[in-house]
Structure 1
Amino acid sequence: MKYSPLFLAISMALPFAAYANSNPIEVIEVTGSYFNDYKVDEAKGAMRIDVSLLETAQSVTVIPSTIIEEQLATTLGEVLTNDASLSAGSRQRNREVFNLRGFELSSSNGYLRDGHQHWSHYQQPIETLESIEVIKGPSSILYGQSGPGGLVNMVTKKPTATNIFTLGADTDQEGSTRFTLDAGGALNDDESLRYRSTLVKQDVTYQREYQNGDQRERERFLGALVVDYDVSADLSLRVHYDYTNDKAGLDTGSWLNADGDLIGDRKTIRDMSWAFTDIDVENYGADINYLINNNWQVTLGYNKQTFERQRFESAPKKPATFSEGEQYTSKPYDRFDDWQFTTKFIDFTGDFDLAGVNHQLLIGANSLDYYYGQLKVKDASVDYAAGQNEPAKPDISYKTDDSLYNSQYDYYGIYLQDLITLNANWQVSLGGRYDKQNKENADNESFLPKFGVLYHPSEQGTIYYSYSEGFEPQRSETLNKDTDINHGIKLDAMTSKQSEIGVKWQLVNDRLLLSGSVFDISKTGKLISEDIDNLDFETRTTQAGEQRHKGFELAAQGAITDKLFVMSSLINIDAEYQQDENYQGKTPIDVPQWSAALWSRYELTEKLALNAGAFYEDERFADSDNTIKKAAYTRIDVGATYEVDLNEHELHLRFNINNLLDKRYLIGGGTSNVTAADGINFRLAAQLAF
C-alpha cells in the first residue's frame, strides 16, 4: 500500500497525544436511553441551508450513524438498504451501483460528500460518516449535473471539543476482521482548535470462491483527519484529508440462464483467482465560513480528489448459451485508470425580512474540473471450463502502454434559491440555475427552474408540492469506437423532470416522523447498454426516447415508545420506457414494483438492546427486453447489543446475524454480472470507549 507519511504521522499522533494530555473534568451523568438518535430533523444537503425537514419541499431520508453501527455495516450498500427507494445494481469489480427511485446513480454525479460532488467509483469509507442523506428527485439546481432519481450525500464526522477515544474490532465466521480507531477533541485550552481522526484496517474473506477453490479476499486501509479552527468569533476554518487503499480479488458477478436461474453455485466466481483491483484514493481540501453580519454569511469550499486504480482482469465472457461445465472465453488485460476530481463552491446565505415576509436566500456558484487517463495492455484470449487447471496469469503490464487515452471537461453553475415564509402556515421555495459544460465536441449549457410550496396545518406537519428539473450532458459526442457496435450515433444530453406531492408529520412528542409522497419523473436520452456476443465489440448501446417512473413512498422513522425505535419505508414504482422504438412499454433493468425496508431496536434494559430487520424486494427484470426475471425475496436480519462498564469506560458488545433464514436470492445486475447474495452470516464486534 502507498501511504502519505505526513498524514500517518499526524493522524496517529493526535489521538494519543490528546488522550494522554487531557485533564480530569467534572462529569455529569445523565440517565436514560443510550441509543436515542434514530430520528434526524435536518438534511442540509437538500437545501444547502439550515432548515428542518418540515421546511423542505421534497422527500429526504436521513440514515444516522446509530443504525450504521447497529448493523455493523462495512459498505455503503449495506446502509442504503434501509431506504426502500434505493435498490442495488451490479456490484462487480469491488464497487457498488445503486438505483434511486429506479434510476441509476452515476459515479460522477450521483454522490456528494459534505455538499461536494464526489467521484464514487469505489466502496465508500463509511467509518468516517455520521449520517447519510438520501435526497430524492432531480437536484441539478444546487449541484449541477445529476440524475432524476436524486443524490446520496455522505455527511462526515466533525471534530469535537470533548475528548473521545474509541477502539473497535469485529469479525465474522469467514475470519474477516476490521479494527477501527475514532478519536477527537480539543488541541488547545480555549477549544478553538479541534480534530477528528479515523483509522481502519480491514481484511475480508468472502463466501464466494474462485474455481480453483480459493476464496475471494480484500484488504483495506483508511486514514482520515479533520481539523477545525475558530480563527475568530466570525471566521472558522476546516481542513480535511483522507486516504483509502483498497485491494481485492476481482468478482464480475454470476451468470443467469434464459429462465433467470443462477448457472452453477451461488459461491462460484467466473474470474480467475489472479485477477485483482488495487485502488488508491486521496481527498484533501478546506472550507471557510465567515459571518458577515447578523443576517448574512459566506461559505467557501474546495476539495481535490485523486483516484488511481490498477485492474488486472481475466475478463470472462458469458457465451450466448452456456451450461455449467462448458467452455467460456477470458480476455485478460492490465489497465490503469487515473481520475482527478476538483470541486469548488461559494455560497452566500441570508436570513432577513423584506416587505413583511421572511426570506432565507441562497446565492452561490460551484464548479467541477474532471480529468481521466487510461493505460491498457491486452493479452491473448484463453478458453476455460470448470474442472480444468486455471490458466496462468499473463505476463503483461499497463506500464508498457505508450498511448495514453485521456478525457477532460469542466463545468460551472450559478444558482439562486429563496425560501419565503409568508406566515405561520405558508412557505414558498423558488430557485433557478444556469449551468455550462466545457468539453471538446460535447459543450452544453442549460437553465433549470425549481419551485415548491409548503402548507403547515400545525407546527408538527407539512403538506407540500414541488417541481424540479435535472440534466446530465454526455461525456462524449459518440460512443466508444473500440468497444460499442453502435459507435457512430450522436449522443444528446439527458434531461429529467419531476413533480412531487408529499406530507410529513411528527408524532409521539415529535419523536416519530411519518412521511409520504407521490412522484412522477420523466427522463429523456438515457443510454441503454447490453453485452453482446461479438468478436469485435463488447456492447450495443442505444439512447432511449423517454423513461417515466411514477409511484409513491411511505416512511416512519424515530421512537414509537421509550423502548421501541423504528426506521421503515415502502415504495411502489411503475417504470417503463415510452416513445422508444426499441423498448416501448418495457421496464428498465433492476427496478422492482414494490420494495420495503424495516429496521428496529427494542431496549430490554438500559444495557441490553435487541434489533430485528426485514428487507423485501419484488421481482425485477435482468434484461432490457424483459424476458428474464429475478425472483422476489425477503431477507431477515437480527442482532443484539450489550453494554459493560469497565473501570469508568464503556464496552459495547454486539452480535448480528444477517440473512437469518439463509435465503437464496439475487440482488442487482444483468444476465452476465448479477450479484448472488451471501448465505447466513454471523458478525461479532466489540467497541471500547475511553
Structure 2
Amino acid sequence: MRYSVLCLAVGSAIAASNVSAQSSNVEVIEVKGTYFNDYQVDTAKGALRTDTSLLETAQSVFVISDTVIDEQLATTLGEVLNNDASLTAGSKQRNRETFNLRGFGLSSSNGYLRDGHQHWSHYQQPIETLEQVEIIKGPSSILYGQSGPGGLVNMVTKKPTANTLVNLGVDFDHLGSTRATLDLGGALTDAEDVRYRTVLVKQDVNFNREYVDGGARTRDRFLGSIVLDYDINDHSFVRVHYDRTNDEAGLDTGAWLDNNGQVIGNDKTIRDFSWAFTDITVENKGIDFKQVLSESWQVTVGYNEQDFSRQRFESAPRKPDDYQQGNSYDSRPYDRFDDWQFTTAFVDVTGEFELGGIDHQVLIGANSLDYYYGQLRVKAESVAFVEGSDQPLRPDISYATDDSLYTSEFDYYGIYVQDLMTINEHWQISLGGRYDKQNKEGADNESFLPKGGVLYHPSDNGTVYFSYSEGFEPQRSDRLDNKEDENHNMKLDAVTSQQYEVGTKWQLADDRLLVTAAAFDISKTGMLISVPSDSAEYQTVTTQAGEQRHKGVEFTAQGAVNDRLFVMGSLMNLNAEYVQDKKYQGNTPIDAPQWSASLWSRYEFSDVFAINAGAFYQGERFANYENTITKAAYTRIDAGATYKLGLQHADVNVRFNIENLFDKNYLAGGGVNNVTVGEETTFRLALHAAF
C-alpha cells in the first residue's frame, strides 16, 4: 500500500512515542496512511455543473483519469475514449476523429465540452492538457442547450498548482514517431495567490499507410497552453487561459470496402494523393471568475473564444459503386479554407439551503453560444486515375482566388434551473428545466425541456436511481422548402430526444471500487420522412414522423480491487434501430455493435515496477445504412510495463507499451468508402522525468 508523505511522517512520530504515551495514560490516536486510488474519480462536474458525487447523480457517467491516459501513452482523444464501451469510433478521415455514444453520432458542434463550455471539436484534441475526461451519457440539453441524444464528452483541463511542478517527457514508436512534452506549474508569488500551469508539446508522426506513389504520410503538431490563477481575496478568484494548436498532416480519407466487408486492394494504400494535406490552427482564450457570496452561495462566470482556421487541399478520390481493384476512379481536387468562430459564455449561481425539512442544492444559470462559419473554395478539373500509373500533379489552384465567401451564423442562449433535494438519508429527488432560444436566419427555434430523477440510497455506499431527460437539435431551416411537396412551407420543429434510464452505483472493496449498471431507452424523434404523394399535383409528402430508438444495458467498474490491482472496465449491449424511416426502417445505424467491451488494468509488483494489460472488443458492425455490408468483430490486446528510477534530483519513469500485441487484423470505424484500418502491432517507449 502506498501512503502520502505527510501521513507516513505523522504515523512514524506517533509510533515512536507510543510507549511513553501508554506509560503516562495519554490517549493515543492512531493515524493510518491514505490510500491513493488513481483509477477512481468520485465526481464529474460536467454532469450537473456542481461538485456533486457520482453516487448522488441520477445519470450514467464514466470518468477516465489522466493516470490511464499516461499509462496508455495516448496521443489522441480516440485512444482515451476506447476505455468506455459505450463509445465506438467512427471515421478518422482528414486528420480528425468522430465517435458514436450509445450508438448516436457525436456532433463536432454540440457533442463536446471543455471545462463546461461547448467546444468546437473538428480536430484532434490536445489531450496533453487534460486531467480527466468525463463521458456524460444520455440527452443533456437542460444544462448545455442543443445536443445529441447519446450524450456529451467533457474534457477537464489541468489547473495551476501552488507546489512547483516540472515534468518532462519524451516518447517514440517503432515507425519513428516522436513526441516531447513539458508540463510546468507552481506559484509566482510568495503568498501563492498567483499560480500558473503551462504545457508545451511537439509531435511528429509517421503513419504505416502510404500513398499510391509510395510517399509516406506524416503529421506535424505543436501545442502551447498556459493557465493563470489569481486569488483576488478570500472570496474572489479569477482564472485566464490561452492555448494554441498547429496541426498539419497529409490526408487519408480511409480504405474502401467490397460487398463482403473486405478492404479492396492493399489495406496500407492511401487512395488520396501525396500532395493532399490539411493545415489547422486553433486558438482558445478565455476567463473565469468566481465570487463566494456566503458560506452557502457562490457565483461563477465563464467566457471562451475559440478561433479555428483550416486549409484543406484535397485530391478527393471517389469510390465507384461497382469498384474493383484495377479499375479507374475519379479524383476531384479542390482547395478550401474554413474559418470557425465559437464564442461561449455562462453564469452559474449555486447554493444550499433548507426548506420544510428538505435540503436543497440549487443551480440557477444561463449560457450562450455565438457561432460563425466562413468558407472559401476553388475546384480543379476532375481526373481519372488507375492504381499503378503515375500520380497526377498537384493542380495550380488556391482558395485565395475565390471571391464568393460563404457564411453561416447563429446564436442561442438558455436559462436553466436545477434542484437536488435531499429528503432524508435514503431518498433524493433531482428536478430541472431549461428554456432555450436560437436566433438563425430562416431557422429560429424555441424550446423548453425538463429533467428529473429519483435516487434511493439503501446504504452509504450504494445508490439506485431512475431518471428522465430530454435533448433537442434544431433543424437547418424552420420551414420545409420543396414546392413539389404537399407540405411545402410547413413549420419544422427541432429534432428531439427522450431517455428513460434506471441504474445502480456501488462503492465496493472499502469504497475503493466503483461498480455501476444502467439500462436505458432513448428515442430520437422529429426526423424528416418523405413518401410518394397520392396527389397528382405533388410528387412527395414530407412529415416529421422519423424515429430512431436505442435500448441497452451498461456495466462499468473502476478503481482498486486490492492494494496492488487496479481496473477500469466497461461492457455494453445495444439494440439500435431506425423505427420510422422510409429508406432504412428496421435497420441498424453504422458502427453500432450489439456488444462492445473494454478492460484496462495495472498490477504493481512493487513500488518501482508495474505492468498493464488491456483488451478492447467490438462486435459485428454494419458499414452501410442498408445493412448489406458487415465489419467483423475483433478483440485487440494491449500490454505495457513501467519501471521507476529514483535519481538524486528527479523521479524517472521508463514505460514500454505494445498496442495490438497479437497483430490482429481488424477494421475500426467508418463506412464503405472511408473505413479506418486497425493499426498493426505498435511498440512505444517513453521516458518521463519529474523534478
Match of 1:367 in 2: 368
The reply to whether residue 104 of structure 1 matches residue 137 of structure 2 is no
Alpha-carbon shift at residue 493 of structure 1 (Å):
2.2
Q: Give yes or no for contact 1:499–1:521 (8 Å, CA) kept in 2.
A: yes
Match of 1:655 in 2: 656
Which range moved further: 622-631 or 579-588?
579-588
Match of 1:472 in 2: 473
Structure 2: which amino acid aligns with 1:568? Answer: G
Q: How do 1:650-689 residues align onto structure 2 when only pairs under 5 Å count?
A: 650-689=651-690
Q: Secondary structure at the match of 2:64?
A: strand
Q: Secondary structure at the match of 1:545?
A: strand
Alpha-carbon shift at residue 579 of structure 1 (Å):
2.0
Distance change in 2, residues 1:685/1:265 (3 Å): same
Distance change in 2, residues 1:338/1:681 (3 Å): same
Q: Give yes or no for contact 1:364–1:416 (8 Å, CA) kept in 2.
A: yes
Q: Give yes or no for contact 1:42–1:52 (8 Å, CA) kept in 2.
A: yes
The reply to whether residue 455 of structure 1 matches residue 460 of structure 2 is no
Q: How do 1:80-95 residues align onto structure 2 when only pairs under 5 Å count?
A: 80-95=81-96
Structure 2: which amino acid aligns with 1:473? Answer: P
Match of 1:422 in 2: 423
Query: 1:95-141 CA deviation, whole Å, 9 max, x = no partner?
Result: 00000000000000000000000000000000000000000000000
Alpha-carbon shift at residue 496 of structure 1 (Å):
0.2
Alpha-carbon shift at residue 583 of structure 1 (Å):
1.3
The reply to whether residue 289 of structure 1 matches residue 296 of structure 2 is no
Query: 1:571-607 CA deviation, whole Å, 9 max, x = no partner?
Result: 0000101122221111111100000000000001100
Q: How do 1:510-525 residues align onto structure 2 when only pairs under 5 Å count?
A: 510-525=511-526
The CA distance in 1 between the partners of 2:350 and 2:494, in whole Å, is 31
Alpha-carbon shift at residue 258 of structure 1 (Å):
1.0
Match of 2:14 in 1: none
Q: Secondary structure at the match of 1:226?
A: strand
Match of 1:566 in 2: 567
The CA distance in 1 between the partners of 2:569 and 2:362, in whole Å, is 33
The CA distance in 2 between the partners of 1:127 and 1:288, in whole Å, is 24
Alpha-carbon shift at residue 474 of structure 1 (Å):
2.4
Alpha-carbon shift at residue 30 of structure 1 (Å):
5.2
Match of 1:255 in 2: 256
Distance change in 2, residues 1:90/1:489 (3 Å): farther
Q: Give yes or no for contact 2:445–2:478 (8 Å, CA) kept in 1.
A: no
Match of 1:204 in 2: 205
The reply to whether residue 497 of structure 1 matches residue 491 of structure 2 is no
Q: Radius of gyration: which is bigger?
A: 2
Structure 1: which amino acid aligns with 2:127? Answer: I
Q: Give yes or no for contact 2:336–2:375 (8 Å, CA) kept in 1.
A: yes
Structure 1: which amino acid aligns with 2:240? Answer: V
Q: How do 1:27-46 residues align onto structure 2 when only pairs under 5 Å count?
A: 36-46=37-47
The CA distance in 2 between the partners of 1:62 and 1:527, in whole Å, is 35
Match of 1:68 in 2: 69
Q: Give yes or no for contact 2:528–2:546 (8 Å, CA) kept in 1.
A: no
The CA distance in 1 between the partners of 2:637 and 2:140, in whole Å, is 33
Q: Secondary structure at the match of 1:220?
A: strand
The reply to whether residue 213 of structure 1 matches residue 245 of structure 2 is no
Match of 2:630 in 1: 629
Structure 1: which amino acid aligns with 2:634? Answer: Y
The CA distance in 2 between the partners of 1:277 and 1:492, in whole Å, is 36
Alpha-carbon shift at residue 265 of structure 1 (Å):
1.7
The CA distance in 1 between the partners of 2:550 and 2:8, in whole Å, is 48
The reply to whether residue 343 of structure 1 matches residue 344 of structure 2 is yes
The CA distance in 2 between the partners of 1:39 and 1:653, in whole Å, is 24
Match of 2:392 in 1: 391
Distance change in 2, residues 1:185/1:542 (3 Å): farther
Q: Give yes or no for contact 1:34–1:606 (8 Å, CA) kept in 2.
A: no
Alpha-carbon shift at residue 385 of structure 1 (Å):
1.1
The CA distance in 2 between the partners of 1:682 and 1:327, in whole Å, is 37
Q: Give yes or no for contact 2:600–2:614 (8 Å, CA) kept in 1.
A: yes
Q: Give yes or no for contact 2:601–2:614 (8 Å, CA) kept in 1.
A: yes
Alpha-carbon shift at residue 294 of structure 1 (Å):
1.1
Q: Secondary structure at the match of 2:52?
A: coil
Match of 1:551 in 2: 552
Distance change in 2, residues 1:474/1:425 (3 Å): same
The reply to whether residue 173 of structure 1 matches residue 174 of structure 2 is yes
Q: Give yes or no for contact 2:634–2:666 (8 Å, CA) kept in 1.
A: yes
The CA distance in 1 between the partners of 2:200 and 2:339, in whole Å, is 25
The CA distance in 2 between the partners of 1:322 and 1:271, in whole Å, is 16
Query: 1:69-108 CA deviation, whole Å, 9 max, x = no partner?
Result: 0000000000000000000011100000000000000000
Match of 2:114 in 1: 113
The CA distance in 2 between the partners of 1:69 and 1:590, in whole Å, is 27
Q: Give yes or no for contact 2:221–2:247 (8 Å, CA) kept in 1.
A: yes
Q: Secondary structure at the match of 2:209?
A: strand
Structure 1's unaligned 5+ residue stretches are 1-26, 482-486, 529-540
Alpha-carbon shift at residue 525 of structure 1 (Å):
3.9
The CA distance in 2 between the partners of 1:275 and 1:35, in whole Å, is 48
Distance change in 2, residues 1:154/1:386 (3 Å): same
The CA distance in 1 between the partners of 2:497 and 2:50, in whole Å, is 24
Structure 1: which amino acid aligns with 2:309? Answer: E
The CA distance in 2 between the partners of 1:130 and 1:590, in whole Å, is 28
The CA distance in 1 between the partners of 2:8 and 2:631, in whole Å, is 50
Q: Give yes or no for contact 1:598–1:613 (8 Å, CA) kept in 2.
A: yes
Q: Give yes or no for contact 2:428–2:455 (8 Å, CA) kept in 1.
A: yes
The CA distance in 2 between the partners of 1:327 and 1:620, in whole Å, is 29
Query: 1:119-165 CA deviation, whole Å, 9 max, x = no partner?
Result: 00000000000000000000000000111000000000000000000
Query: 1:482-513 CA deviation, whole Å, 9 max, x = no partner?
Result: xxxxx999965211000000000011110000
Q: How do 1:296-375 residues align onto structure 2 when only pairs under 5 Å count?
A: 296-375=297-376
Structure 1 runs, 4 residues or longer, greater than 3 Å off: 27-36, 475-481, 487-492, 525-528, 541-544
Structure 1: which amino acid aligns with 2:283? Answer: E
The CA distance in 2 between the partners of 1:510 and 1:321, in whole Å, is 58
Q: How do 1:114-263 residues align onto structure 2 when only pairs under 5 Å count?
A: 114-263=115-264
Q: Give yes or no for contact 2:335–2:377 (8 Å, CA) kept in 1.
A: yes
Q: Give yes or no for contact 1:266–1:677 (8 Å, CA) kept in 2.
A: no
* TM-score between the two structures when normalised by the length of structure 1: 0.92
Match of 1:48 in 2: 49
Q: Give yes or no for contact 2:7–2:34 (8 Å, CA) kept in 1.
A: no
Structure 2: which amino acid aligns with 1:515? Answer: T
Between the two proteins, the alignment pairs up a number of residues equal to 648
The CA distance in 2 between the partners of 1:252 and 1:492, in whole Å, is 34
* TM-score between the two structures when normalised by the length of structure 2: 0.91
The CA distance in 2 between the partners of 1:488 and 1:365, in whole Å, is 33
